[in-house]
Amino acid sequence: MKHLEEADLVLYRYGEPCDRAAIEHHLAECEACQASFAALQRVLAAVEAAPVPERHEAYGSTVWHRIQGRLHPARPDALDWAGWLRPRRWMLGGAMVALLVAAFLAGRYWPSRPAPPIAENPAEVRERVLLVAVGDHLERSQFVLLEFLNAPPQDMVDISAEQKRADDLVAASRLYRQTAAAAGEAGVAAVLEDLERVLLEIARSPSTLSARDWEELRRRIEAQGILFQVRVVGSQVRERASRPAATQAQS
Amino acid sequence: MEWMEDDAAAVAQTLAGDRDAFRVLVERHSRSIFRLAYRMTGNEQDAEEVVQETFLRAYRRLNKFESRANFGTWLYRIGVNTAIDYRRAHQRHLEGRKPLSAEGEEVLLALPAADPALDRTVFSSEVQRHVEKALAALSPGERAAFVLRHFEGMSIERIGRTLGLRSSAAKNSVFRAVRKLRRALEPLVSSVR
């Protein structure tokens, strides 16, 4: 006798289109398939029993209060874009990035010599410096992406301001990616690589786009889910950076 | 704020510039999106992130919503894709970290099946832990297809439409998910017949 396949049992269990009469007939006669179906039912029942935490009646209101300030992230009172655009500010930011990366790499590759004992392990300090710097970089990148994705729809969209900011962030992103890869932070490096690609795409597009082209570019960026990845990894990185050294070592 | 009869009216009002109209939609759909997000992520904090991101995405794309469509279904689809993105981002981040210690794992499977002193409460929480672990081992796509089929009762055809897959691909995702869950959980649940 040819036994039922697992796929048949799954379709039957979920009431999906299948030859129900033939399956029922077989199940009535075949003990092996009965046992297999019973095992499937037990597994699915165990999965079913996993509880979902309840949310109170006013949960929707809580969510609203959490997100309402982010529905217009580019409000003038929320972000000082003019400040970020000042060349001196960018030069200072670039210099800080270079210093941080240089400090990290120097600490990692410079020949070591005896040093007085310090409270924290130097490797942990280096990791923390990297995490803080990457967290800041991801936050700045998130602002640029939000500004781009939330641009108001027009016939022609001028993205030159976002392009300039994206272009400034590309080099930093590359440096952080290489540093993160060297430090064994493959997950962070992968997200930075995706971010770099998106920032490059924005930076290399024409500075004025038709509504259609802009929508197409926006759709491509959204499809990659980069904004979400940046937000998730950014919050994880910041959380790790703020954790006490001993806790970090254990995780 | 004036009470709105249905979601379509709230969408239209939001698109007309009344940002507070969006609040009605958030308040009406947050709990169902949370349940979905929790099933997809298996973690309360992650589910909260997914809920917020789902509404932010919906707000950004509201002009794409067709008034004849069902807002709840449209939002659900955004929620599913947001949860998939979240799990992918989370996995990529974790892949770069050191693996956690396996100490303490598989203790349950070593328990004697017919031990009369077996504490049912402890066992139940252990089963739950293993279920969570087995669900977490599914790929984001498999988990999405399984959650939609098993918990949300969606047909495979509709799952395909929600995830942007052919029906055959959605069906295979459900099959793979069930096979992995059976492999992980069958030895465990068989011991408490």
Cβ burial of B61 (10 Å; 0-12, 13-18, 19+) is middle
What is the mean pLDDT of the segment spanning B63-92? 84
pLDDT of residue A23: 92
Chain A residues close to B88, C-beta within 8 Å: 225, 229
Q: Is the pLDDT of residue B120 over 70?
A: no
Q: Are B26 and A64 spatial neighbours (Cβ–Cβ below 8 Å)?
A: yes
Q: What is the DSSP track for B144-158?
A: HHHHHHHTS---HHH
Question: Do the chains contact at A52 and B35, CB–CB below 8 Å?
Answer: yes
Chain B residues close to A53, C-beta within 8 Å: 38, 44
pLDDT tens, A150-164?
777 677 778 888 888
Q: What is the ipTM of this complex?
A: 0.78
The pTM is what? 0.59
pLDDT band, residue A64 (cuts 50/70/90): very high
pLDDT of residue A93: 55
Q: Is the pLDDT of residue A103 over 90?
A: no
Q: Which residue of A has its CA nearest to B133?
A: A47
Using CB atoms, pick whichever of A43, A67, A187 lies closest to residue B186.
A43
pLDDT of residue A88: 45
